[in-house]
Amino acid sequence: MRLPEPLFVVINPMMRVLLRSPLHCMLSGSLMLISFTGRKSGRRYTTPVRYVRVDGAVRCFTSAENLWWRNLRGGATVSLLIAGKEAPYDAQAIFDDPPRIRAALQQYLALFPADASYHEIRLNRDRTLVPEDLERASHEAVVVELRPLHPC
């Protein structure tokens, strides 16, 4: 189920508080906070996003229509708060590689099929992704790949 966009004005601040609290374990298995600096404003922003771990990296998704990911074009150092632990990461926004975005979306939506609606991808009766929706979404979605700056 897709939440109406106006609700995020209320939900995002609540998620920031919860993910920073001792109660983070209720959400931190799939939600994290990403903090980054605005390229033009120089302001620090923090937004909650769903994430997955893939081959030693962390990956999250957004729509090209959202503005926050543009601060990561060409690479940026960000801070991730995952499971109560904050660490610096190198972030790369992938917005112009539809085959790579399609593969990443398929992998992600296999884990979180309910999130398909956020990318306007319909599900077939068997919960598989409608191929033409996935193809369109691969041109509209942005994948943010994050790698730890100081791997353990």
pTM: 0.88
Instruction: Give per-residue pLDDT as tens, 67-97.
Output: 899 999 999 999 999 999 999 999 999 999 9
Q: Domain tally for the chain?
A: 1
Mean pLDDT of all residues belonging to the chain: 91
Indicate if the pLDDT at residue 63 is higher than 60.
Answer: yes
Mean pLDDT, residues 35-64: 94
Task: Write down the pLDDT at residue 4.
Answer: 59
- At 136, list the tokens: 């369109």
Per-residue confidence at 152, pLDDT binned at 50, 70, 90? Answer: low
42 Ramachandran zone, left/alpha/beta (phi>0; psi -120 to 50): left
How many Å apart are CA 7 and CA 76, to the nearest integer?
Answer: 29
Name the residue range of residue 124's domain: 5-148
Report long-range pairs for 73-78 (Cβ below 8 Å, ≥24 apart): 76/36, 76/37, 77/149, 78/34, 78/35, 78/36, 78/146
DSSP state of 5: G
- At 75, list the tokens: 């690479």
How many Å apart are CA 25 and CA 29, to the nearest integer?
Answer: 7
Highest mean pLDDT, choosing among 15-19, 21-25, 63-67, 129-133: 129-133
Instruction: Give per-residue pLDDT as tens, 116-142.
Output: 998 999 999 998 999 999 999 999 999
- Let me know how long the chain is: 152
CATH of the domain at 64: 2.30.110.10
- Which burial class, exposed, middle or buried, applies to 64 when counting CB atoms under 10 A from its CB (0-12, 13-18, 19+)? middle
